[in-house]
Amino acid sequence: MKKSLAIVLMGVLLLLSACGGGSKETSGEKKEKEVKIGITQIVEHPSLDAAREGFIAALKDAGYEEGKNLKLDYQNAQGDMNTNLSIAQKLVSDKNDLILAIATPSAQAVLKNTKEIPVLFTAITDPVGAQLVKSLDKPGGNATGTSDTHPDAIKNTIAAIKKFVPNAKKVGIIYNNGEPNSVVNVKNAKKAIEAEGLESVETTITAGSEVKQAAESLVGRVDVLYIPKDNTVVAALESVITVANAKDIPTFVGEGDSVKRGTFASYGLNYHDLGYSTGKMAVEILKGKKPSEIPVGFPEKLELVINKKAAAEEGITLTEDLIKDAKIVGE
């Protein structure tokens, strides 16, 4: 009798197991697998922030959302290279499914620490020169992403100096020569300045605390300022704006977000769009594609951005003809 009862009970248990009756979670209730993405950003400023926000927006549009099936670990080095390296090491040791590196130093630090985890970069001036990829069309390793270098951006911005400040002769440039992206940008800017018959006057800095003094050192020596896409200088941009406004020095910059903050003009790109494109690459990788199979992306369009308030502060007279094709901010 006892033996028969045991056999019956065993049969019931097997039946419950087969039907899922012994589980608290049915197949329809299974929690979706969580994707872990680490984000490292060299410094905080609007362009890089916008790229990060665009990246997250693309993930959300593809169904990856924090609190649902996505865990993000965002870290900012605040311009400190030792912190930048520590962040990279942490994101790698945490075994993230993918890492987004925003700006060249962040990407270099991450790739120094992993050859296995897929790495995406954005807001990079020269991915090949920075040794992030073997080539733009065939990245080759575990990294790919988007560059913020439109071939006509610097050339068009320098040409705008002659358009808006026709009597200008000398262009002051402030940059951190420790940033590889800045060195490339300044090299290209000097070529464009020379092509326009202008002369460049450079001053370099190593930290944001030096930016105001650098701007002041150019007063009386230059007719206009050009600020390239330099993370250190852009993070302390208000220091430049204060000097430029006080001394009526028109200031041209490498991207449109800096115009919104109070500089005069730029042929810039939309960093949110750039980050969004990078986010779409992330979705491809999460679905199985290898970074080596995805070519490096570039901004598709440029727009002339002019700050009307900055024009008045920096002594520039605008006419309807001068601004007819521009995006106007600061009204």
Task: State which residues of the chain have pLDDT below 70.
Answer: 1-31
Looking at residue 33, what is its pLDDT? Answer: 87
Helix (H, G, I), strand (E, B) or coil at 38: strand
**Three-state SS annotation for 47-81:** HHHHHHHHHHHHHHHCCCCECCCEEEEEEECCCCH
Q: How far apart are CA 275 and CA 315, in angstroms?
A: 35
Q: Which two tokens stand for residue 48?
A: 């890089």
Looking at residue 27, what is its pLDDT? Answer: 44
pLDDT digits (tens, 9 = 90+) for 256-298: 999 999 999 999 889 999 999 999 999 999 999 999 999 999 9
Q: How far apart are CA 220 and CA 41, in angstroms?
A: 36
Looking at residue 300, what is its pLDDT? Answer: 84
Looking at residue 31, what is its pLDDT? Answer: 59
Mean pLDDT rounded to a whole number for the chain? 91
Q: How far apart are CA 268 and CA 264, in angstroms?
A: 12
Looking at residue 301, what is its pLDDT? Answer: 86
pLDDT digits (tens, 9 = 90+) for 19-74: 444 444 444 445 578 999 999 999 999 999 999 999 999 999 999 999 999 999 99
